[in-house]
Structure 1
Amino acid sequence: MDCFAAPAIRTRDAIEDIWGPRTPYKDEWPTRVDYALDEEPEAWVQSACVLCSNGCGLDIGVKDGRVVGVRGRATDRVNKGRLGPKGLTGWKAIHSKDRLTYPMVRKNGRLERATWDEAMGLIVAKSKELQKHLTNHSIAFYTSGQLFLEEYYALALVGKAGLHTLHMDGNTRLCTATAAASMRESFGSDGQPGSYADIDYTDCLFMVGHNTATTQTVLWSRILDRLEGPLPPKLVVVDPRLSETARKATLHLAPRVGTNLALLNGIQHLMFKNGWIDEDYVSKHVIGRSESEKVVGEYDPDTVEKVTGVPVKQLEEAARIIGTAKSLVSTALQGVYQSNQATASACQINNINLLRGMIGKPGCGILQMNGQPTAQNNREAGCDGEFPGFRNHQNPTHMKELAELWNIDPIHVPHWNEPTHVQNLLNYIESGSVRMFWISGTNPLVSLPNLTRIRNLLTQPGLFVVCQDIYMTETAAIADVVLPAAQWGEKTGCFTNADRTVHISHKAVEPPGECKSDLDIFLDYAKRMGFKDKDGNDLIPWTTPEEVFEAWKKVSAGRPCDYTGLSYERLTGGSGIQWPCNEKNPQGTERLYTDGVFPTDIDYCESFGHDPETGAPYTKQQYMSMNPAGRAILKACHYSPPLEEPDEEFPLRLSTGRKVHQFHTRTKTGRTALQKACPEPEVRVSEKDAASAGVSDGEMVIVRSRRGAVELKCSVGGIAEGQVFVPFHFGYWDSQDGRARAANELTFDRWDPISKQPYFKSGAVRLEKIPSPTSTNTSTGAPHIREQHSDAIRKAAAKSAAATTASASASDLAAGRERQLEHWLGETYETAAQLEQIYTTLLPSLIDDLEVEAGLRVLRRIGEDMRAALAPHARRHGYDVEDRLRSGSSRRRAAQALRDALFPPDRESETTARRSPLEVLRALQALAVYLAHIEVGLTALLPAAQALWDEAFVEAVIKAQGCLDRMQGWVRHQVKVRSPQTLVVPVRKEE
């Protein structure tokens, strides 16, 4: 079968007729079954579509052991039988002739066929060598938004319970991390409040940075049918481009890229001004109202127009529509998540619905959308920035629960920080502290920002790269081990869409060649690594997906994403079911927060939240002072301009995004007839900007940023002046002409401070006309900007043999390395030890006060307790505690230099009678600074001790922190008592 050929039997040509015929409705969306077949199937197997986040239920048609077509499931709540162009066409990629069908290992610079034993044996040998010489924290995982729930949960156990490391993230970081972050900030936990069914009832749809017509075509069909039915909803669309979604809008707002926050603040400003607030709901169910009103009070329509370019009248009309609608559904996607101040902006969308009291009711809700089909499962299971079951790493009870569920010691649950996001993983690769990078189901050599840097990092000598995928992607081409994975239709598992609907996908056909499911690969690794629980049993004992699902249910029990009422049997035969599904909600839950109670209780919440501007996480104490106690949280934030603004050299704002016929880096869609509908990338530019650059529609042009350049066809019109759009799907696996064309050659690696999602819709570029005679209106001719991916493949081939075999010796791994813990711990210990002289000699010489004298005696004892707590661990980690005075160590010299800077020795001889009250205050200030230095030392030591899984060391640091808190409390009190009289009452000037 030709995977580029159209199916022989089909309800429509979905590539041309993207959204299908209209079925106008009110209240309940009618059923319409779409199908596309090469021939009549012998059997139908239940599944769902995995080519966007909508999660459309479908059946896979099978004949003679091959997939021969698909049809929409009429019973499914998500799509009522409909399928979009990717659902009706993308299945044919399963027959692509260039599937990976056997493992490969890099030998003598080339990827060569290997057995599974050889490939997995090499991975395990590398892992154990790294464990021994560089610790488990030199191993990192980077996964996808397209595996199944069971596979994510198994991977979470491999990393968090087997290796006890936080180094695990997924490419959902690139598309939906902000969705999760904003819901944690506003509601206390991840989980979409709304439901797709709310579209059936709502009076108003507010879509911010969400081009539904392209990203979720079946959901857009639902919206189109509402718009053509009786009582159509108002549609307000925020998008810099005149997208298909924007064309149908009641009102289209086209702000400058990167100014979403100012626009959303402006809408709230008008809501407060005009009284469009549900005061009763807000008073009972929301906190933060006064601060939000104060912040948005500065964003009057004139100010917003200056920042965003949105005319005053349009802003006022948008606020009126949203503020007076009887019901409201708000949605967001990459136009928010990948843009400036992403999490803060997404929180403002939540704020708007909360202020209107429009959440948890039919036709009222928020859908912070996902970009990938199983992104929700990745977050639930804890593979990309979360902990399983939406647990809070700052809550010891939550971490103890995981330890009990996994039957491991609590110290081995890695909870000293949030899981490591990919930005830091890349930094650790750059610094050399991560030496094994296991990539599953994703293609970072196309999808990550600033590709020049990514290529250099992932082809580093000494970095061992494992790539687990279904095709030879750009990333697989530079890997040291390539593992062939089974894909959708070739394995069984569950996945959850963007409105919490859980579907089951049953295995329909056998995978080709030697391919294995991602689950089987992870289980094999766990077995070969010998991961055990604390009783000596296999940590990960399962053999089937259903066993993993049943184990996952226990982890989800009692948490917001409760699956305990679900089973493979219940999910088979009918529609997908929304979580939470449990004894209380046996049929699933249509929408969350119907009772106005949110998961913000301090003992239940997933996160204590963050400062929306700095991104700094709040402490438990800060969260307690907010006292949300089951109420939602309004998060206010001021607008700040993007980090890279246009200038004379780079006058245009860059935005990247999706095209309707392609998905991510085209590993699937690019191998089907969808490719013919969207064969190459192009840059969209306004008429005026095209004229300024001297380029015309269809002409090949150069797009250049400070990071790199690409050569693309120009498409003129349909976008605001000063902005350009480039699709991100295209890399180099099928490139024929050698041109640079990946959008991420241009993007810059800056990230949202909370969600750590890259700012793909940011940065400045310029258009350059290709000089004659090469310039044409076709894509022929030699490239002016050549791709660099081929160089990366050559660099990977040049890696030393030690990097790609199991023979790397301990000396190879440890050569030129020195652990820094000993230095930091030694200096912190020495700084604490020198408190004795400060309290005994220095401070008494600076302060003549009986109360201070008494206090210093107590502080000296407390300081000695702190020193004594740290001493055995400083000694154990190489600091000579007993011989410190005689040895004159560098740590002692550093601590003494700080002490002498704050308490100059030459002042000891001066009589205390000459000390003025101001000098006394300054002496106390010096002590506060010295103690703050120790505080930072201990702050770094606590997670380091936890990362060593050393309970005694952890307890010692906690005890030292307690001692320090007491000393700091005394100093603060003394400063507060003395400062009014000292600072307010005038004193005689000195002669």
Structure 2
Amino acid sequence: MRHRGDEVGPLSHGFYTSGQLFLEEYYTLGVIGKAGLGTPHMDGNTRLCTATAAAAMKESFGSDGQPGCYADVEACDALFLFGHNMAETQTVLWSRVLDRVEGPDTPVLVAVDPRRTEVARTAVRTGGVHLAPLPGTNVALVNGLLHEVIARGWVDRDYVDAHTTGFDELAATVEPYTPEHVAEVCGVDVADVRRAAEVFGTSDRVLSTVLQGFYQSHQATAAACQVNNLHLLRGMIGGPGGGVLQMNGQPTARNTRESGANGDLPGFRNWDNPDHVAELAALWNVDPMTIPHWAPPTHAMQLWRYAEQGSVRLLWISATNPAVSLPDLARVRRVLGDEDLLVVVQDGFLTETARLADVVLPAAMWGEKQGTFTNATRVVHLSDQAVDPPGEARSDLDIFLDYARRMDFRDRDGAPLIHWNDPESAFRAWQECSRGRPCDYTGLSYEDLRARGGIPWPVTEDRPDGTERLYTDGVFRTDPDDCEDYGHDLLTGGQVAPEAYRAANPAGRAFLKAAAHTPPPERPSDDYPFLATTGRTVHQFHTRTKTGRSPRLDRAAPRPWVEVSAEDAARLDVAEGDVVRVESPRGAVVVPVRVGTVWAGVVFLPFHYGDLGGDDPTAANELTVTEWDPVSKQPMFKLAAVRITKE
């Protein structure tokens, strides 16, 4: 047993939550952690899927908060999907796109994906463009589009001059990224780069969506910010059909971020702004020094490192399955199995992670409890309870409230810190926390949501119907007293000091943040000649906690596979269905082959599959590397060097 010292306090407690709880539950957990215990060690599995969306919007616009809405799908002239395999990750939204594509007024579709997915095939079939960059070259590709937009005079200079800052630096940074240079770096066709840039530069209304192909890859925040830059250069933010959707990967990921359960301060407050900390301290009636704000919140990858090193001694995991979803699973299992770490798992199923826990708290599922949830485009919904939970299962809110009572958390006057006792009173407490912030919920009620359906925040007395699009007036949340973050260097992750931020005087203007392309941290070698990238299949969701228990879905995609190019299949002397061993410096999986349309030298594996009960490992994250983006701290699941041998 390792010696860890005798002192136990707030810094010994860590919380790792989900993107699938209700807002009321997240907020309660956030208050427990920040004002009850005073621990900075809180994050969610949203770090794996949506952290870059939040980071990119903070860097460009001053605050989290989706600028556009789904109605822009019906209003756009061109649709760019950057690393977003919508046909397999968001099937309902893809149906809306297909309605447009197959209709009389077809938008131009541009797909950016190293695989020839259904999205890419649809783009080519309907006269659009498929850009298939080598994994790890996204920044170079978008810099090439920016270069063309600037060089060919497609910039809305009136908008840029009035509503942005940083144009000269951006123009200088992208100047070397000619179509020819981009084609060489990314492995794409020069004509396709020019065509895609022309579509973006000349269409009246461009909608872009961004997801895991950018977020889980090298230079994640830098790449996502360059997409924001494209829209800012064209003045396409806030208008119908012209905007960017920095997407979520989970149904309630936005609530995790709003409420502070991901470690940030709730209400999109700035941890480095003393006035924002004081607002929360007054709201919760606690000493400001109780609220962790002396350093950035602990992100998930650092939280697991602290658990590995021994400073975090209690790790409370709710509604997520890190024993399948985190990178380098051999390491994760070692951490979870450490006898000196108390692991609490709160879940509705006995997942791979729950089987490694010291304590399992059975939790109710969504139809067995009540609460609100907010989708990627800020639309708030109410989910009423349909049935009682089975057995000893309780809602996550009840579990957190019970914990708060047992811990007897008190405010500075001795009153209970958590003064709510059911979903609706928790919602009212959250409303006060959101008052005056970008995600203002004060104009909502359960009655409104039940009667009217989804309503997009901010919703106030002045805006009772909500706000469909943000930044319609070109004024962004970049004022130093209002912004959620003072920003970072996109290449190093170095934080911008508050004084430097104020000196830049953004005055409500968006930031055109530039970044040069740099090589990825892990590349193929003689020992590991292939580059593996992970992703999803339409028939499964995340770690198959629910979908793996559906007979129809399980029959459709019962096992993982590795997709290789026809050239690589011939070189390896393997055919469709042959079983191979895929091995990285960290681990290996044994899976059948699919011969597909990936790049030669690139292989693809779906990440959903954990323990399937056989002798051979099947989880793609046995292979992935513990590396993350310097700004968003999102892991790089898309880049792992591997070798393949026939079994």
Band of TM-score, shorter chain = over 0.9
Aligned residue runs from structure 1 range 592-631, under 5 A: 592-631=470-509
- Of 9, 14, 19, the match for 1:145: 19
| Cα drift, residue 767 of structure 1 | 1.3
User: How far apart are residue 702 of structure 1 and its match?
Assistant: 0.8
Tell me the residue number matched to 1:155.
29
In the TM superposition, 1:240-255 aligns within 5 A as 240-249=114-123, 250-255=128-133
Deviation of the 1:575 alpha carbon = 2.3
Deviation of 1:557 after TM superposition, in Å, equals: 0.7
Q: Say which SS state the counterpart of residue 563 (structure 2) adopts.
A: strand
Q: Distance in 1 between matches of 2:184 and 2:583?
A: 27
8 Å Cα contact 1:209-1:334 kept in structure 2: yes
Q: Residue 94 of structure 2 aligns to a residue in which SS?
A: helix
- Within the alignment, does 1:650 sit opposite 2:528 as a pair? yes
Q: Which residue of 166, 169, 172 maps to 2:43?
A: 169
Structure 2 match to 1:478: 356
| Structure 1 residue corresponding to 2:594, chosen from 715, 723, 747 | 715
Instruction: Give the Å deviation of 1:514.
Output: 0.9
TM-fit CA distance, 1:718 = 2.1
CA contact (8 A) 1:643 1:763 kept: no
Give the match for residue 628 of structure 2: 751
Of 511, 522, 541, the residue aligned with 2:419 is: 541
Q: Which runs of 4+ in 1 moved over 4 A?
A: none
Over aligned residue pairs, what C-alpha RMSD do you find? 1.1
The offset of 1:213, in angstroms, is 0.6
Determine the C-alpha separation between the residues in 2 that align with 1:696 and 1:552: 56
The secondary structure found in structure 1 opposite 2:366 is coil
**In the alignment, structure 1 residue 674 sits paired with structure 2 residue 577:** no
- Equivalent position to 1:203, from 77, 89, 93: 77
Q: Given residue 350 of structure 2, which amino acid in structure 1 is its aligned partner?
A: M
Partners in 2 of 1:718 and 1:521 — Cα distance?
Answer: 47
The answer to whether the 8 A contact 2:87-2:538 is kept is yes
Partner of 1:256: 134
Residues 420 and 429, structure 2, Cα contact 8 Å, conserved in 1: no
Contact residue 450 and residue 747 of structure 1 kept, 8 A: yes
Q: Deviations over 1:369-418 (max 9, x none)?
A: 00000000000000113110000011111000000110101111111122
Alignment of 1:755-774 (within 5 A): 755-770=632-647
Task: Give the whole-Å Cα distance in 1 for the aligned partners of 2:266 and 2:360.
Answer: 28
What is residue 341 of structure 1 aligned with on the other side?
Answer: 219
Q: Does 1:466 align with 2:340?
A: no
Q: Aligned residue for 1:401?
A: 279
**Displacement of 1:737 after TM fit?**
2.3
Q: Please tell me the residue identity of whatever aligns with 1:225.
A: D
* Cross-structure match for 2:9: 135
Instruction: Give the Cα separation in 1 of the matches to 2:349 and 2:423.
Output: 23
Superposition deviation, residue 338 in structure 1: 0.2
1:319 and 2:212 correspond: no
- The alpha carbon displacement at 1:228 in A equals 1.4
Counterpart residue number, 1:440: 318
Spell out, residue by residue over 1:236-267, the C-alpha distance to the aligned partner (whole angstroms, 9 max, x if none). Answer: 00000011111111100000011000000000
- Quote the Cα distance in structure 2 between the aligned partners of 1:227 and 1:383: 39
Q: Structure 2 residue aligned with 1:274, among 152, 156, 166?
A: 152
Matched letter for residue 597 of structure 1: V
1:192 aligns with 2:192: no
Matched, 1:706 2:580: no
Relative contact order higher in (CA < 8 Å, ≥ 6 apart): 2
1:537 shift after superposition: 0.3
C-alpha offsets along residues 105-124 of structure 1, whole Å, 9 cap, x if unaligned?
Answer: xxxxxxxxxxxxxxxxxxxx
Q: What are the residue-to-residue correspondences of 1:569-968 with 2, within 5 Å?
A: 569-672=447-550, 673-732=552-611, 735-770=612-647
What TM-score comes out, normalization by structure 1 length? 0.64
Question: How far has the Cα of 1:131 moved from its partner?
Answer: 12
Match of 1:297 in 2: 175
Deviations 1:37-76 (A, max 9, x none): xxxxxxxxxxxxxxxxxxxxxxxxxxxxxxxxxxxxxxxx
Whether contact under 8 Å (1:203, 1:233) holds in the other structure is yes
Letter in 2 for 1:688: E
The CA deviation string for residues 607-637 of structure 1, in whole angstroms up to 9 with x for no partner, is: 0000011001111111112211101001100
Amino acid at match of 1:687: A
Deviation at 1:301, TM superposition (A): 1.3
Q: How many residues align?
A: 639
Provide the rounded CA distance (Å) in 2 between the counterparts of 1:227 and 1:607: 38
Q: TM-score, length-normalised on structure 2?
A: 0.98
The answer to whether the 8 Å contact 2:259/2:266 transfers is: yes
Q: Distance in 1 between matches of 2:375 and 2:147?
A: 34
Which one-letter code corresponds to 2:266 in the other structure? Answer: P
Q: Secondary structure of the equivalent of 2:60?
A: helix
Q: Name the structure 2 match of 1:366.
A: 244
CA distance in 2, matches of 1:282, 1:339: 29
AA of the residue aligned to 1:758: P
Deviation at 1:585, TM superposition (A): 1.6
Structure 2: give runs of 5+ residues left out of the alignment: none
**8 Å contact 1:131–1:138 — kept in the other structure?**
no
SS at 1:200 equivalent = helix
Which is worse superposed, 760-769 or 217-226? 760-769
More helix by share: 1
CA offset digits 1:913-939 (Å, max 9, x no partner): xxxxxxxxxxxxxxxxxxxxxxxxxxx
**Is 1:232 paired with 2:110?**
no
* Closer, same or farther: CA 381–131 of 1 in aligned 2, 3 Å: farther
Find the aligned partners of 2:633 and 2:367 in 1 and give their Cα distance. 33
**After superposition, what is the alpha-carbon deviation per residue over 1:513-533, rounded to whole angstroms, capped at 9, x for unaligned?**
010000000000000001000
8 Å contact from structure 1 (residues 260, 336) kept in 2: yes
Query: How big is each residue's C-alpha offset from its partner over 1:558-586, in whole Å with a ceiling of 9 and x where there is no partner?
Result: 11101011110000033211011112321
| Identity percentage of aligned residues | 59
For residues 693 and 580 of structure 1, what CA distance do their matches in structure 2 show? 55
Q: Which runs of 5+ in 1 are unaligned?
A: 1-129, 771-991
8 A contact 2:42–2:299 mirrored in 1:
yes
